[in-house]
Structure 1
Amino acid sequence: MKVNNKRRTVAIGIVVGGLAIVGPTAAMANNLHSAGHGPNGPRMITAQGMSHTDSLKQTAVSSNNERTAFNYFVGKGLTAKQSAGVIGNLDQESGMNPKSNQAGGPGRGIAQWSEGGRWETLKKYANKKGKSAESLGLQLDFVWHELNTGGYGFSDLKKATSIDKAVRIFQDQYEICGDCRFDNRSKAAHAAYDKYAHGGGGTKPKPKPKPGNPKPSKVYKNVWAEAPSYKHRDRSAKVGVLHRGKNYFYCQQKGAGASFAGYHNNWWLKTDDDSGNANVWVNATYVSGGVNDGKIPGVRAC
């Protein structure tokens, strides 16, 4: 951070358990925060991009929200590496908690948007959409809205070919923090990529086939709505969910009929769901490209 030569900055320190912690004066801290104003106003930042307390430790991350966010950005057209770069930043900022409220500071939501600044814009956006400002889906939509309409490094992010490059771009041009703890963001981004990037669609890696068994083939299809998964094709033993986005399937077979959102189908697709269950069944009504009571094109029969 550059120091204004016309004004002296006074650091104040406290000792906690023998550890000296030095930071800016309270008056200065009140004027510095992450996810500050955008291109049409000043971009104010913090030393850490989080509250001073939270910046000293790794934020607990919601794995379900993290997976949902990763799939969201991949579904919007970002590569798995670019999406992981975004996720690493949001993990560091809030632990992917849409209700995150910065202790002693103005940061709110998954990106720690500033009260009095971009958080107010988000609330207006939420009101226009008729959704809660504290919902994960709305906040992901707002990130995408800002990237597309406000700049925030979107053109550079789309050119990123490595995870760390994507982390750096989103950190510097969207979060706009000071001492951002890049190593934390990078570590979280690489971890997200390892967990969700198999096939580029955020699906979990399939179990390794047993020795001597042929390697099962898989076909990637778009799941247009969150789908329940079942152990059997008769809709008994519901076991988990398969999130929206690009997911893989092994094969399909007829079973009990199921209806959803006005569609009906008696074909079921075998996959590994997002709840950690292998070889489960999802009804074809949730998969794009089919017709009522018809097969999903391109997926072999079981």
Structure 2
Amino acid sequence: MRIATPARLTATAAAAALMASIAPAAHAAGDDTSARYSSTSSVYGCTVTTDWTNAKTAFNFFVGKGLTKKQAAGVVGNFIAESGIDPKQYQCGGGPGRGIAQWERGSRWDTDYRDNMVWYAQAASQPSAWNLTPQLNFTWFELKTYSYYGLSSLKSTTTVKDATVSFMRNFERPGVEAIDKRYDAAREVYFRFA
């Protein structure tokens, strides 16, 4: 099991309160997708900045693959918590995580038989394992190829929170869940791009 180092995203209370008053239906439905969150965070002495251009690209990629906007936001929120959605991100603190999903070196990043990012980039003639497009394509490859990464579970979700939790537990499988940080990021993705 991989131990992820999630990025810290904190809510701005005033903005959250303002947005809550504007979108009461979202609150009533138990899926608040209206609050605003910081783009920069500090984790274990590392500063991680969310790349919102990459976040939008990823969001559109997953919607284009057939996920709902809420499901896509849950996926991208996890990537923001993992890496700021930076395809060149090394795990803070020197851990084995690499890329947007923090695939583990010695496992899903470079050694698992026909299920690792480096192999996939080469086999699919992608420009580099360290670029966003191959990492998005590899994520989809894993979801479609291996049922234990939870595509059916993800597709059954109807809220941003449920999608965030489903992707975290089935695909990311972090040592530290930090669900609030992931959900905060996913709500921000939904707010910006849905």
Q: Identify whether the pair has TM-score above 0.5, normalized to the shorter chain.
A: yes
Residue deviations 1:95-120 (CA, integer Å, cap 9, x gap)? 00000011311100000001110001
Partner residue, 1:50: 5
Partner residue, 2:145: 149
Partner residue, 1:123: 118
Give me the whole-angstrom Cα distance separating, in 1, the residues matched to 2:172 and 2:69.
20
Give me the whole-angstrom Cα distance separating, in 1, the residues matched to 2:163 and 2:6.
23
Give me the whole-angstrom Cα distance separating, in 1, the residues matched to 2:134 and 2:71.
20
Q: 2:171 aligns with which of 171, 174, 178?
A: 174
Secondary structure class of the residue paired with 1:59: strand
1:287-298 to 2 correspondences below 5 Å: none
More strand by share: 1
1:5-154 to 2 correspondences below 5 Å: 44-46=1-3, 49-50=4-5, 54=43, 59-102=48-91, 103-120=93-110, 121-131=116-126, 132-151=128-147, 152-154=149-151
Q: Could you state the TM-score of these two structures normalised by the residue count of structure 2?
A: 0.74
Q: For structure 2, which runs of at least 5 residues remain unmatched after alignment?
A: 8-41, 111-115
Partner residue, 1:251: none
Amino acid at match of 1:148: K
Residue deviations 1:134-184 (CA, integer Å, cap 9, x gap)? 110000000000000112111000000000000001111100013211101
Give me the whole-angstrom Cα distance separating, in 2, the residues matched to 1:75 and 1:51.
26
Say which structure, 1 or 2, has more relative contact order (CA 8 Å, 6+ apart).
Answer: 2
Partner residue, 2:193: 196
Secondary structure class of the residue paired with 1:81: helix
More helix by share: 2
1:187-266 to 2 correspondences below 5 Å: 187-197=184-194
- What is the CA distance between 1:129 and its match in structure 2? 1.6
Residue deviations 1:17-52 (CA, integer Å, cap 9, x gap)? xxxxxxxxxxxxxxxxxxxxxxxxxxx132xx2179
Change (3 A) 1:89 1:168: same
- What is the CA distance between 1:56 and its match in structure 2? 7.4
Secondary structure class of the residue paired with 1:119: coil
Q: Could you state the TM-score of these two structures normalised by the residue count of structure 1?
A: 0.48
Give me the whole-angstrom Cα distance separating, in 2, the residues matched to 1:55 and 1:125.
30
Give me the whole-angstrom Cα distance separating, in 1, the residues matched to 2:157 and 2:175.
21
CA contact (8 A) 1:58 1:184 kept: no
Count of equivalent residues: 152
Give me the whole-angstrom Cα distance separating, in 2, the residues matched to 1:57 and 1:138.
25
Secondary structure class of the residue paired with 1:116: coil
Q: Which structure is larger by alpha-carbon Rg, 1 or 2? A: 1
